Amino acid sequence: MKALYATQTVVPEEKSRADIEKMLREDFGAIACASGYAPNGTREIAFVTFRMYDRSVRIAIKMPTLADVSGTMKGRTRSKAMALKSLAQARRQRWRSLWLAIRAKMDRVAGELTDEEQAEMFRREFLADTVVGRNQTVFEVMDERISEAYLSGGLPSLALPGAGETH
């Protein structure tokens, strides 16, 4: 699947990072907000972490590598200079896309009428990225378990609201 949002952005990574932190703090009241980079095997990840509604959240995205952008869509190899230019563009796109994703989630939270509804929507929107024991996110803890349950037939293939309820 090819990224569509911000593929031509000129907004520097640092500005997108600052925009995310500013949005979370000033527009939505997050505390202990930070962003940065961390190694993850052969890849670097970019992350945003913050605290709201008594939850710690960490959203991490894998950053592209030079190898990811060294080839063209037609199968040709880019020059080193063009590959570096493509890498910088891909990194800017990832940060801008992250800004959009967080903004959309926070707008859903802010759209709720009461504080309780906002807190519930926040928990729903950021559940996968909520940090739990051992500094892992819910996604990191549960993804493999859910996959195993589906493979073993332990979960329904399609869960519709109200399915399985008896009246």
Q: What is the domain partition of the chain in residue ranges?
A: 13-151
DSSP state of 71: B
What pLDDT, in 10s, does the model give residues 46-102? 999 999 999 999 999 999 999 988 888 888 898 999 999 999 999 999 999 999 999
Q: Are 4 and 21 in contact (CB under 8 A)?
A: no
Handedness of CA 109, 103, 25, 23 (dihedral sign): negative
- Produce one character per residue of 145-160: b if its CB has 16 or more CB atoms within 10 Å, e if not: eeeeeeeeeeeeeeee
What pTM value is reported for the model? 0.84
